[in-house]
Chain A
Amino acid sequence: MGGVGDITRLLQEASAGSRRASDALFESVYLELRKIAKAQRRRWSGNETLNTTALINEAYVRLAAQDLANYQDRAHFFATASKAMRQVLINYAERYTAAKRGGNALRVTLSGLSLQDASTVDELLLIDSLLNKLEANNPRRCRVFECRVFGGMTVEETATALDVSAATVKRDWTVVSAWLFSEMKPLGDDTIEDSSG
């Protein structure tokens, strides 16, 4: 991991549209999140609590806080971190599933974040694959969902992070939730007539 200045530079370049910078930023944040999560897990043996938001906050403090005076940079950082958080969670979920398949009933704990029941893990994996589909179709909606769910960000924070209005975030959130929800349910059992009748 490079120095603090790197993050600022990467953020600026990423905002300016550099794909390479945005990848590098993501990787830095992802590694940091994993490091924090591991350290927390070791220190508090899973008893203590650190949610995703707190985890991202800590990553922010470690990587960027001193350097990112402006609110928008902070927001951008958080958006990236939310995406990274999604990756951290999915990696855990995949490992959990692999372990389960291997007959090893391992309980995956991530710094007080317990993916205890298999259904949550399955949901996460399904959500991830759906989000990958969405990414191609409407990346902004995908970001909104990441910020809200994996980053624990409010509508306003999300709006600042993504440079859109709060109203847009709200609409995107409504649409993407409804869509994911409908995709996750067994198809064909509910129709508009049923729900209104």
Chain B
Amino acid sequence: MISEQAAEIFLKARTLDPATRIRYVTGACADDPTLLREVSLLLSGANESEAYFDGLARKVSLEVLAEDDTPLPANKVIGSWRLLRRIGRGGMGAVYLVARSDEHFEQQAALKILPTGLDTDVARARFLVERQILARLVHDNIARLLDGGVTEDDVPYFVMDYVEGLPIDEYCVSRRLGIDAKLNLLLDVADAVQYAHRKLIIHRDLKPSNVLVTETGRVRLLDFGIAKMLEPDGNELQPTRMAQRPVTPNFASPEMLCGEQVDVTTDIYSIGVLMYLLLTERTPLCFNGMSLTEMWKHSANEVPPPVSHINHALRGDLDAIVAKALAKQPQERYSSVESLANDIRNYLNGHPVSAKTPSTWYRARKFVNRHRAGTAFSVFTVIAVATIAALAVRSATVSARQTREITAERDRAEQTKEFLVSIFESADPDLVPGNQTARDILESGRARIERELTDQPELQADLLETMSHVYISWRQFEDGQAVLEREQDLRRATSGEVSAEYIDVLFRLAVNADIAGDYDLSLRYVGEALEASEQLGSSYWLALSHERLGRILHLQGDYTAADTHYRRALAWMIEASGKDSMEAVFIREQLANLLNHQERYEESLVEFETSLAVRRKVISGDSSEISPILLGMGSVLTKLGRQDDALRAYEEGYAMNERLYGADNSYNMYFANGLGKLAEVNGDLETAIQRYSEARRLVALHTPYSPNMAFAEAGLARVYALQGRYDLAIPMFRSALQIFTERLPSHWLRGDTKWRLGLCLVETANYVEAEALILDGLLVVEEQWGHDHQNTADARSAAVRLYEKWGKAEMAQNYR
């Protein structure tokens, strides 16, 4: 046991350096061997002991969430932000009010930081996922991500809008809002949630405290802390276990409470609860004092009273809307937030709403119930599944800003497919693999739509639209075409040729044609869309049509025509949404890329810089909207000979992507390729090989058989050829050429690759094949760049080299 004397000597000895310590201890315990032993024992572990028990405390209280309870000191500076005070904390991070001073104004914001005690791999991954989710969401009704990074101690943080407001229910009560005003607020909520869904993000925790309304009546969605990403950019950033967090039972869907897989309809349910709450000032179900099992049962079985029974001022249509949103079975709810919002709008405008019983939906459900045993899958499940897919793909087809290029679209389609498959697997345990394919299921769904909904052409068209997204995502051109043409007929009959719906189906027809590689057909559809947009007189749709046209032409290498259309698109979009709108900026970026390809580097740089400035106004930190601009700038700066600036832009973007998406993310294949090119231009061939190889590896990881692969391989092959390593260069060129031929036949790089491959063959004395390749390649390049261009001259010199080495000097003469 510790004597007081020993404790005193021990404590004193601790303060001394080792040499004096021995002298002191031996002196103090001179004539007491027991005391000396006691003190010695205490000292023997003193260096580790406190840390050890601190560690034990943590080990014991783990799976550790020893959340650091001490707030960070006020005025501490993190990044460019100064902490003012802590405004919240939870398991997932502490939130501080922060300010950034700048010459002109002081900006306040909310900074969320991972508590130091919480810095486990899982918590960190979860935290980064939230940051990544926020980075994707740029919407008026969602608190924006402003900045992000890690502190000096490597603790991740991010900064978002600081929202001062009231929870939506309190706001409605305090302002004594009427029914219409409440519904209008809900429409803003729906709009934000729908936007998130299009970005493939499910919020999963919609409740009043996460839906604030500001002084000016603006709705702001907060807290994507448990949101789920449907498309984790190829990286599994979301450990499934972390998905769980206590949810407020009042606002959670039955499937969420049961811990089952959730999809977008879980958010629809929560919006339904919000709607119920705002309209009646009470939640639909009451869970007070229940155990979890009781909650499950209650949530799954108890049907809340219709809202009109509580508030007699409400009409029956609202009952129908709320009931449909709150349906127990996810597939019986609205299939998308958009359709819920449409019904609310219909209600506000006095139009009939879709949610009426008994409706076709109702009949269909009955049908499904009757046939459940017989068919492994139901139309209904198909529709639910397809709708989710639609959410994924629609963004790629309708909204230009979503889609960086066709390849990105394909990535997304691929992931959508995977997601679909997983839904298919989880949705019906009776489904025997091989017995019935997803395609069969869709097929029978299609037949049923035709058969059973003949009296409802609009609904038919909507369902076909949904199916078309699935076929497009599956790259099933034939099926897609059949469905789309049918939808086109229906749209023509229901909405007329001069309508947004009709233009939309034309866009999808064009995308479908892209899949088959039939660019002429694609152009024809977009041309029709353009005509319809002109007649409709909608600047927004005109902008989209021109942008779409420009993009196809751009991809095909028709730069002059693409230029015209991009510029028109830009003008229309500025008229439709304003100069600084994200849509306009997106088109400007496309234009900048085009100018780059046209070798109009100075102009291109100006457009990129303009875009960057607009984006930076909105977003100050890492952002998925900014890194693509840095990519373009890197490329242009390389060509302008500003190597150092180019390297800086590339490296900034590369690092940003790593922070945003983690290592080996798909975006960095472009940066790796750009860095390869930069090194190639600088004559740093070893670096070039490293970078191109990295690009190739990343492409293989994300989009194995895509034009991207051709670019990376062509680059790598060029460097090998420069080094005289023809054995490596030739197969690489061949592989690239094959992809070009199949995927981008009219791109000039196909010609470039051809003659370069030919030149390698010259060096290995394979003259016959070399001649065909070089002459063919030269033709393509010359057509693109004209007779006098350096690219053409390079190709021509290959011909000269060929004939000289082949001993046909007179032929060589023709190419000098």
Contacts and interface: CB of A to CB of B under 8 A. Distances in A.
Given A137-B1, A149-B56, A179-B42, A42 B292 contact: yes
A137 B59 CA distance: 28
Contact of B10 (A45, A175, A190): A175
Interface in B263-288: none
A175 B91 contact: no
A52 B245 CA distance: 18
Most buried by B among A42, A45, A182: A182
B44 A191 contact: yes
| Chain B contact residues: helix, strand, loop or mixed | helix
Contacts of A190: 44-45
B21 A196 contact: yes
A149 B59 CA distance: 10
Interface in A29-51: 42-45, 47-51
Given A49-B63, A51-B62, A51-B66, A182 B45 contact: yes
A89 interface: yes
Interface residues of A, number: 52
Contacts of A171: 7, 11
B66 A53 contact: yes
B41 interface: yes
Contact of A175 (B2, B44, B52, B245): B2
B813 interface: no
A120 interface: yes
Contact of A113 (B56, B62, B67): B62
Nearest to A187: B41
B62 A175 contact: no
B592 to A, nearest CB: 47
Contacts of A18: none
A37 to B, nearest CB: 12
A91 interface: no
B42 to A, nearest CB: 4
Contact of A191 (B11, B40, B91): B40
A192 B27 CA distance: 13
B177 interface: no
Nearest to A46: B63
Contacts of B39: 192
Contacts of B291: 42
B105 interface: no
B65 A44 contact: no
A134 B241 CA distance: 41
A94 interface: no
A174 B46 contact: yes
Interface in B19-37: 19, 21-22, 25
Interface in A86-130: 89, 112-115, 120, 123-124, 127
A183 B45 CA distance: 10
A1 B660 CA distance: 50
A157 B321 CA distance: 53
A181 B61 contact: no
A140 to B, nearest CB: 12
B32 to A, nearest CB: 14
A177 interface: yes
Given A53-B69, A113-B60, A178 B42 contact: yes
B482 interface: no
Nearest to B243: A47
Interface residues of B, number: 45
Query: Which of B2, B59, B64, B65 has the largest count of A CB atoms less than 10 A from its CB?
Result: B2
B50 interface: yes
Interface string A141-165: 1000100111010100000000000
A114 B62 CA distance: 6
A196 B60 contact: no
B2 A124 contact: no
Given A50-B65, A51-B62, A195-B44, A177 B11 contact: no
- The residue in B21, B46, B50, B60 that gathers the most chain A C-beta atoms within 10 A of its C-beta is B60
Contacts of A177: 46, 49-50, 52-53
Contacts of A123: 56
Contacts of B57: 52, 148-150, 152
B2 A53 contact: no
A56 B175 CA distance: 39
Contact of A124 (B1, B60, B244, B245): B60
Contacts of A127: 56
Which of A42, A123, A193, A196 gathers the greatest number of chain B CB atoms within 10 Å? A196
Contacts of A52: 57, 60-61
Contacts of B44: 182, 185, 190-192, 194-195
A133 interface: yes
A180 interface: yes
B642 interface: no
A4 interface: no
Task: Give the interface centre of B61, B67, B69 by most chain A CB atoms within 10 Å.
Answer: B61
A15 interface: no
Contacts of A179: 2, 41-42
A181 B56 contact: no
B18 interface: yes
Contact of B43 (A112, A178, A185): A178
B59 A178 contact: no
A194 B49 CA distance: 17
A193 B25 CA distance: 11
A54 interface: yes
B289 interface: no
B164 interface: no
Contacts of A50: 65
A181 B52 contact: yes
B810 interface: no
B103 interface: no
Contacts of A45: 244
B45 A178 contact: yes
Given A47-B241, A49-B91, A174-B50, A112 B11 contact: no
B50 A173 contact: yes
B70 interface: yes
A89 B11 CA distance: 30
B366 interface: no
Contacts of B7: 171, 175
Nearest to B39: A192
B517 to A, nearest CB: 48
B246 interface: yes
B309 interface: no
Contact of B65 (A51, A148, A150, A194): A51
Given A192-B22, A192-B25, A182 B41 contact: yes
B260 interface: no
A149 B7 CA distance: 20
B610 to A, nearest CB: 47
B292 A43 contact: yes
Contact of A154 (B1, B21, B56, B70): B70
A181 B65 contact: no
By Cβ-Cβ distance, the 5 closest A-B pairs, closest first, are A51-B61, A181-B49, A181-B45, A190-B44, A177-B49
5 contacts: A114-B62, A150-B57, A181-B49, A192-B25, A192-B44
Given A48-B245, A53-B69, 11 more contacts: A49-B64, A51-B65, A53-B67, A113-B60, A137-B1, A152-B66, A175-B2, A179-B42, A182-B42, A192-B22, A192-B44
